[in-house]
Structure 1
Amino acid sequence: MARRRLTPTAFPLSGPAADVPRAEHFDLTMTLPRPASSAPIARVAAEAASTAALDEMADTLRRARDEGRLVLDLALDAIAPDHLARDRLPVEDEEMAALRESLRAHGQRTPIEVTPLDATPRGGALPYGLISGWRRLTALKALRAETGEARFATVQALVRRPETAQDAYVAMVEENEIRLGLSQYERARVAARATERGVFPSEKAALLALFSSASRAKRSRIRGFLEIYHALDGALRFPTHLPERLGLDLVERLRAGKGPGIAAALAAADPKDPEAELATLAACLAPKPLDAPPPDLTPSEPEPARVPDRGRALLPGVDLRAELRGHALILRLTGDGVTPQLCDRILALLATLDGA
């Protein structure tokens, strides 16, 4: 008997194929496995993979936020602006006005930097402390108060986690120096304020940490402005406009004990703008004329002998010239060795004279 080729056919059959014996048909519905709607193992594996992917994404976002690589929108009222002693002095100037107009027209383009504070705030403490971006935060607050618009109610911020308070101060100073250089007075002020808060053990340590990239000469000039801060912080109204040269001249007068007189002169002048204050300081620092010589002697009296000018080397780099005019002795020191320190030494030496 000839073999028949079995052709897979699903039941039921109709037409000529219905006459073919049932044993010679291949029932697909009976021999092929039906796919399971959802195998338990496969479902569990898929769910585990999804959970792992979500956990990895959440961990990535968490690390990005903790490392300061994720920009957050924070409410203005959630940030403590006085978390650090600010290096910027609160002044209203053309640059602040220009910043407000830029934020009004284009929005915030550069995020500020904040650090998380105590996770369980007490006594009304805020969750974030400001590290850098004081001007941007201040400008946004002014725009919100002026316009009431919701777009000025939040600020874009990067969350930083400095290891120490000293690191936070260094970050603040570096960011402000890069964006818009600090004045010498602001540099001195932040060093003094950070030391007052116990962040640094001394003002010298504060200067070395905050301005580590500055030259020794520059740190020395900032140290001079520290003397201005301690003597005239309440008397100066526009200290950020104080030029370096004028400031160093002012330091010399403060070391000579002229601080109270300068403070009194500033209070009496009551300057309304930086120019008026600088004019007052310039008048205080103007050299005083030498005492006028005594009246002309009568012809009957011989003129007192006058010591002729003579010069000699007093110290390395210092020449001394002395002249006696009547009852006035004029000593003039010139040379590269003439410094404020030398002036202090000479004044101290003169103070020891007993008139003998």
Structure 2
Amino acid sequence: MARRRLTPPRPGFLDAADSGTEAPQPAPEVKSMFPMGVAATVTRAPIAQVAGEAAAQAALTDLAAEIARTRAEGRVIERLPLAEIDAGHLVRDRQSVDAEEMETLVSSIRARGQQMPVEVVDRGAGVHPRYGLISGWRRLMALGQIGESQVLALVRRPETAAEAYLAMVEENEIRAGISFYERARIVVKALESGVYPDTKTALNGLFGNVSRAKRSKIKSFMTLVETLDDVLRFPAAISEKAGLALVQAIEAGHAPALREALQNNPAADAAAEAQLIARVCGSAPTPAASEPPAPPCPTDLSADLPDVRYDPETGVIVISGAGVDKKLAARLQIWIKDRR
């Protein structure tokens, strides 16, 4: 017997036949609508779906880990509340800021926004302010002046305080030079804070990338910092040569008179402070009978004085510059002989 293919029922088919109208065409065969008589499906195979979801989850996990790693390495710039940054977290090496330079920076940030992020350390969720400033003090101050509430920052994680101090020093050495007094002061303060065990380690740690001669001058200025830091009002204005001469005068016995004068007569500006120092050192302290007269203080802190360099590692003293001649050499020999 011949097999007939069934077609799906069509509503109204019989009604049309009873009314004498032309019967509608039969509906297409069900089996002919799909290849091999089986309906197509859009459902993915379970194994492929599970594998795809696992791969996507693994990619998200890797991405999250990479973001966490780059943030831990301080390579992600974040937007932090300005109020959550402690500008005094480290003892700053820069003591003075030129007003004109600061105004230029403020105008630039106001016009173009903050272009360079500051560097901070995360001190923990239980500390307020949470972040301590490492570098970018001027940018932070400029943002505060124009009323910004947020700052772009790189969150560093220095393993030691020495690394944090080094980051601050290196930025200032590269971006904006600081005076010898300010360099010496940060060494002294780092030593006082216990960041370094001794002077040599501190100098090499903070200024290991500068010349040996420069480190020697910084070490000489440390005497000036240790003696007069709390009474000097404009120490950053002291030039390299004048500062080295002033250190010699301090070592010769002028320190008590200088401290008293600077403490009782605070200067209004750097020039007045220089004149006060010159007046105090105009009369050298009375030496003991066995000691030669002390050398006078510099009459002008910006005067062109001989450059004296001492290398503590080799024990060599080099004197060069204005006023260096045979007479000076002879006088030095006599002075050294009398000091023995």
TM-score range, shorter chain: 0.7 to 0.9
Shift of 1:271: 1.5
What corresponds to 1:78 in structure 2? 84
The SS at the match of 1:279 is: helix
2:239 aligned residue (228, 238, 243): 243
1:54 aligned residue (60, 71, 87): 60
The SS at the match of 2:189 is: helix
* Structure 1 residue identity aligned to 2:113: G
2:119 aligned residue (113, 119, 122): 113
1:102 aligned residue (98, 105, 108): 108
Q: TM-score, normalised by structure 1?
A: 0.70
Shift of 1:92: 5.8
The SS at the match of 2:210 is: coil
The answer to whether 1:170 aligns with 2:162 is no
The SS at the match of 2:152 is: strand
**Residues 257 and 28 of structure 1: CA distance in aligned 2, closer, same or farther (over 3 Å):** same
1:183 aligned residue (157, 169, 179): 179
What corresponds to 1:159 in structure 2? 155
1:197 aligned residue (193, 196, 205): 193
* Structure 2 residue identity aligned to 1:334: L
| Cα displacement string for residues 175-218 of structure 1 (whole angstroms, at most 9, x for unaligned residues) | 11111011101100100101111110012211111111222211
Structure 1 gaps, min length 5:
1-8, 145-151, 289-316, 318-331, 350-356
Q: What's the % identity of the aligned pairs?
A: 42
Shift of 1:62: 1.6
The SS at the match of 1:258 is: helix
Shift of 1:128: 1.8
**Residues 157 and 12 of structure 1: CA distance in aligned 2, closer, same or farther (over 3 Å):** same
Q: 2: CA distance between counterparts of 1:38 and 1:281?
A: 89
Shift of 1:270: 2.7
Structure 2 gaps, min length 5:
11-22, 285-316, 318-325
What corresponds to 1:306 in structure 2? none
Shift of 1:170: 1.2
Shift of 1:34: 2.4
CA contact (8 A) 2:223 2:247 kept: yes
**Residues 211 and 28 of structure 1: CA distance in aligned 2, closer, same or farther (over 3 Å):** same
What corresponds to 1:276 in structure 2? 272
**Residues 10 and 107 of structure 1: CA distance in aligned 2, closer, same or farther (over 3 Å):** farther
Shift of 1:38: 5.5
The answer to whether 1:133 aligns with 2:136 is yes
Q: 2: CA distance between counterparts of 1:37 and 1:263?
A: 89
CA contact (8 A) 1:10 1:27 kept: no
**Residues 19 and 224 of structure 1: CA distance in aligned 2, closer, same or farther (over 3 Å):** closer
| Cα displacement string for residues 319-345 of structure 1 (whole angstroms, at most 9, x for unaligned residues) | xxxxxxxxxxxxx96318938xx85x5
Shift of 1:79: 1.6
| Cα displacement string for residues 283-309 of structure 1 (whole angstroms, at most 9, x for unaligned residues) | 444587xxxxxxxxxxxxxxxxxxxxx
CA contact (8 A) 1:173 1:210 kept: yes
CA contact (8 A) 2:96 2:236 kept: no
Please, what is the CA RMSD of the aligned residues?
3.3
**Residues 213 and 278 of structure 1: CA distance in aligned 2, closer, same or farther (over 3 Å):** same
